[in-house]
Structure 1
């Protein structure tokens, strides 16, 4: 499901019914307590530990593994000797050299299976607002030879408001699914919904699940009119349908003073809504409450989400302040001129 990278944490190993071993030597079982001496015997030498006086924890770090021991007090010995008698309070399993710099491991090439994934998505903007997306894409290179000879291919593609279906297909390939919109239930919030001419056909989405992106096309012009970027956080109705879209959206922060120039900040897929609207100011209107269910007889166990409109974007916010998705609107641009300025990939 491509969630944000997080280490695996376990607490109180001595009361958990787990058996842990390293190189065939158990360091936690019903007969073996995970003491600091046992950890030292099982894993061998490492760098000196670090004592956190605030948490009263002594941290012992290995590559990809960290142990925390409960110590009420500890005075560092001249020869960096480890304290004796303490048992493991917490254990963290992660990828990398340290817990602070952990990153999600790269996906093996054998798992790509012909799909294209987005490493990052940058929102392009001009003086009027968002103008399109720049996607940094990853795929397993195709060519003669066996799968073990495949190489990682990294390339960039740009999609703009006003691009045609052919432009998008040429840049990103075929979508995983084409979804035709049903009746627009947000039409009631329009200033004059009764004046809107009903259409015989519906706008349609290109769903790119491995990119975490939806692209909406106008049924009359067949041009891009909306982008939807999904974060795939647990607790949302669409969880585990899309891969996590690691987007970055530049925002304009206006200051109260007329002499101060507007500053820029960045909205990312990891940002929380309360920190964003503190910078940008509270929305002038209350949010639209969205409660989804798969059928009239079903209930949505994830609860409602709240839609806030700000700077030509709609942020769909969950009850825990995480952003579930961001919808971008913009005016069609002369994409042929924009593409002429792009470097050849």
Structure 2
């Protein structure tokens, strides 16, 4: 017997276990444990601009989740195929069933439940609207339709998104406004390219963490960021071959370990001898890249030197800028020689359309770049 998918609808807030404003990383991570409810999940994105364009999760057959392009936050939830029996769908509003396999949701029931609203082909309320158009078939108002036929029109799609601000409906390409589910997440990571470190700012918090290479300790990170998702002892020493003194590097780094903060999109390499940060790795979570969904997107910015002592707005480049702009920002000359990296080499039977990235080294900064000129990782050392 197929179990019923039972979801409550919260206008302007969410549907079932899905909360508006949740990160793409958190939602996919949650879905891994809900395969009995959502066995078919499809991720859709624009491969040429995957760092800046929306991502859609299709949870067949009933749900489509739209995530904003820049901060990868759940923007719109679409509930569709309300009568599809595999699995059956039950929808509730304030603990009252409004739609089920036995009771279809029709226009008059929407009006009775949610009250009056402005006329139109759709019934729109703050944070939710109901469409009568089928999948590719216009089933809205038609010429000559009777009043009784209007009353019994079946709802085909339900859309839930944040409520309008100052009466203006938000566009599907807008970023999600800060909301409680974001509290404690990194709102921005300002990378100081003059070897000062990274300033981490957080949603709805006065906490501002400055992580500095050679200064910040493992204890500092635990106090400010909490315990890491994982502590990983460094084993990969392949980059030592490029060191001018590989033996000294190997002796010093053999006991180093990583603090992995997957839910923040940041790694810290920590000295095994001094327990001080040696490297900071920040991830962009670009769809289609080898590390996609291993880390949440960290919204980072590269900040250059101020033009003078009175300059309170130094130049910056953002995670969504193309590599060519980043490279010129870091060094006006031609880009440095690059090294090829294929992260699928360590795994058998794993193939990606674009598995190879390039590493470009600058003063204290390494950029990992994919074939679409998107910076997928920034390494500070």
Q: Same fold (TM over 0.5)?
A: yes
Equivalents in 2 of 1:130, 1:194: separation in Å?
A: 21
RMSD over equivalenced CA pairs, Å: 4.6
- Name 2:200's counterpart in structure 1: 135
Counterpart contact for 1:27–1:39, Cα < 8 Å:
no
Q: TM-score, normalised by structure 2?
A: 0.53
> Is 1:26 aligned with 2:98?
yes
TM-superposed deviation, 1:216: 1.7
Query: Quick one: which of 189, 206, 213 aligns to 1:122?
Result: 189
- Name 2:117's counterpart in structure 1: 46
Counterpart contact for 1:123–1:248, Cα < 8 Å:
yes
Q: SS state of the match for residue 26, structure 2?
A: coil
Query: Quick one: which of 91, 103, 127 aligns to 2:158?
Result: 91
Distance 1:27 1:179, change over 3 A: closer
Equivalent residue runs for 1:150-299 within 5 Å: 154-165=206-217, 168-169=220-221, 172=224, 175=228, 177-188=230-241, 190=242, 196-197=246-247, 199-200=250-251, 201-202=253-254, 203-218=256-271, 223-231=276-284, 242=295, 244-250=296-302, 264-268=315-319, 271=320, 276-277=322-323, 279-280=325-326, 285=337, 288-292=340-344, 298-299=348-349
Equivalents in 2 of 1:169, 1:21: separation in Å?
A: 43
Counterpart contact for 2:191–2:300, Cα < 8 Å:
no
Q: SS state of the match for residue 186, structure 1?
A: helix
Q: SS state of the match for residue 2, structure 1?
A: helix
Q: TM-score, normalised by structure 1?
A: 0.57
- Name 2:78's counterpart in structure 1: 9
Which sections of structure 2, spanning at least 5 residues, go unmatched? 1-24, 28-71, 143-149, 305-313, 329-334
TM-superposed deviation, 1:227: 0.8
What per-residue deviation string (whole Å, max 9, x for no partner) do you get for residues 252-277 of structure 1? 6xxxxxxxxxx945424xx3xxx523
TM-superposed deviation, 1:90: 3.2
- Name 1:68's counterpart in structure 2: 131
Distance 1:211 1:277, change over 3 A: closer
TM-superposed deviation, 1:182: 1.4
Equivalents in 2 of 1:208, 1:11: separation in Å?
A: 35
Equivalents in 1 of 2:263, 2:230: separation in Å?
A: 11
Q: SS state of the match for residue 46, structure 1?
A: coil
Aligned residue pair count: 271
Q: Which has the higher Rg, Structure 1 or Structure 2?
A: 1
Which sections of structure 1, spanning at least 5 residues, go unmatched? 50-57, 76-82, 110-116, 139-151, 253-262, 330-345
Q: SS state of the match for residue 235, structure 2?
A: coil
